[in-house]
Amino acid sequence: MGRTFTRQRGKTRVVFGAGSWSALGGELDALGARRCAILGTPGRAEDVSRLESALGARVVRTFTEAREHVPVETVKAAREAIEGGDVDTLIAVGGGSAIGLAKALALDVPVQLAFLPTTYSGSEMTPIFGTTEGGEKRTGRDERARAALVVYDPEASLSLPLDLTIASLWNALAHALEAMWLSEDDAATRAVGEAAVSALVPSMGALMAAPGDLAARMLALEGAHLAALAFADTGSGLHHKLCHVLGGMFALPHAKTHAVVLPHVARFLGAAAPNATSALARALRVVDPARGLEDLGRVTGIPSGLGALGVKREDVPRVVEAMMKSPDLRPRALERDAFTAMLTTAIDGRPRRTSRTPLRAPESLRTMTGFGGNHASEALPGALPQPGNAPRIAPYGLIPELVNGTPFTVKNAENSRVWMYRVRASFSHTPFSPLPRGAFTAALEGVTPARTRWKPMPIPEAPHEVDLLDGMVTLGGAHDALGHVGYLVHMYAANADMHDRSFSNADGDLLLVPQEGTLECRTELGWLRAAPGTVIVIPRGIKFAVGLAEGRGRGWMLEIMGPRLRLPERGLIGSNGLADARHFHAPEASYEDRLCPEGFELVHKLGGRLFSAEQQHSPFDVVAWHGVHAPYSYDLSLFSPMGAVKFDHQDPSILTVLTAPLDDMGRAVCDFVIFPGRWDVLEKSFRPPFMHRNAASEVNGVLKTPSPSHGYDPGCTFLSPLLTAHGVSTKTYEAVFSMSEEKAEGPVRLPDESLWIMFESALPFELSSWARQTSLVDDGFHELFEGMRSWFTPDTR
Q: What Å distances lie between residue 720 and 697, 724, 733, 759, CA to CA?
A: 6, 7, 18, 11
Spatial separation of the C-alpha atoms in residues 295 and 469, rounded to whole Å: 14
**Distance from first CA to last CA of the chain, Å, rounded?**
58
Query: Which pLDDT score, from 0 to 100, does residue 354 have?
Result: 57
pLDDT tens string 471-526? 999 999 998 767 678 999 999 999 999 999 999 999 999 999 999 999 999 999 99
Beta bridge partners of 16: 5, 152
CB atoms within 10 A of CB 2: 7
Amino acid (1-letter code) at residue 161: P
Amino acid (1-letter code) at residue 205: G
Interacting residues of 144 by C-beta distance below 8 A, sequence separation 6+? 106, 107, 127
Q: What angle do CA 252, 254, 257 make, to 5 degrees?
A: 70
Pairing of strands 36-39, 89-94: parallel
Query: Which pLDDT score, from 0 to 100, does residue 1 have?
Result: 42
Interacting residues of 664 by C-beta distance below 8 A, sequence separation 6+? none
DSSP letters for 37-88:
EEE--GGGHHHHHHHHHHHGGGEEEEE----TT-BHHHHHHHHHHHTTS---
Closest to 649 in 3D by CA, of 755, 727, 568:
727
* Residues recorded for the chain: 797
Spatial separation of the C-alpha atoms in residues 102 and 109, rounded to whole Å: 10
CB atoms within 10 A of CB 162: 13
Amino acid (1-letter code) at residue 273: A
CA atoms within 13 A on the CB side of 415: 9
Query: Which pLDDT score, from 0 to 100, does residue 355 have?
Result: 55
CA atoms within 13 A on the CB side of 772: 13
pLDDT tens string 652-677? 889 999 999 998 888 999 999 999 99
DSSP designation for 528: E
Query: Which pLDDT score, from 0 to 100, does residue 353 have?
Result: 58
Interacting residues of 278 by C-beta distance below 8 A, sequence separation 6+? 436, 437, 438
Extract the residue ranges of the chain whose pLDDT is less than 50. Answer: 1-2
Interacting residues of 397 by C-beta distance below 8 A, sequence separation 6+? none
Q: In what helix (H) or strand (E) does residue 192 lie, and over which residues does it extend?
A: helix 187-209
Spatial separation of the C-alpha atoms in residues 520 and 640, rounded to whole Å: 26
Spatial separation of the C-alpha atoms in residues 94 and 40, rounded to whole Å: 6
Query: Which pLDDT score, from 0 to 100, does residue 743 have?
Result: 80
Query: Which pLDDT score, from 0 to 100, does residue 684 have?
Result: 80
Beta bridge partners of 117: 94
List b or e across 619-643, with b for residues whose CB sees 16 or more CB atoms inside 10 angstroms: bbbbbbbbbbbbbbbbebeebebee
Amino acid (1-letter code) at residue 324: M
Spatial separation of the C-alpha atoms in residues 572 and 65, rounded to whole Å: 88
Spatial separation of the C-alpha atoms in residues 193 and 266, rounded to whole Å: 15
Closest to 569 in 3D by CA, of 559, 579, 582:
579
Task: Give yes or no for a contact between 245 and 87, defined as CB atoms under 8 angstroms apart.
Answer: no
Query: Which pLDDT score, from 0 to 100, does residue 92 have?
Result: 97
Secondary structure percentages of the chain, helix, strand, coil, to 5: 30, 30, 40
pTM value is 0.83
Query: Which pLDDT score, from 0 to 100, does residue 652 have?
Result: 84
Taking the CA atoms of the chain, what radius of gyration do you get in angstroms?
A: 31
Q: What Å distances lie between residue 136 and 238, 251, 252, 323, 784, CA to CA?
A: 16, 10, 12, 12, 65
Spatial separation of the C-alpha atoms in residues 149 and 152, rounded to whole Å: 10
Amino acid (1-letter code) at residue 344: T
Closest to 221 in 3D by CA, of 283, 174, 157, 171:
157
Task: Give yes or no for a contact between 761 and 670, defined as CB atoms under 8 angstroms apart.
Answer: yes
Q: What Å distances lie between residue 618 and 72, 247, 661, CA to CA?
A: 54, 39, 35
What SS3 state is found at 543? Answer: coil
* Strands, sheet with 399-404, edge to edge from the N-terminal-most edge strand: 375-378, 622-627, 417-422, 399-404
Task: Tell me the longest C-alpha to C-alpha distance in the chain.
Answer: 101
What is the set of domains in the chain, with CATH numbers?
1-159 (3.40.50.1970), 160-352 (1.20.1090.10), 433-636 (2.60.120.10), 637-785 (2.60.120.10)
Q: What is the 3-state secondary structure (H, E, C) of 372-426?
A: CCCEEEECCCCCCCCCCCCCCCCHHHCEEEEEECCCCCCCCCCCCEEEEEECCCC
What SS3 state is found at 443? Answer: coil
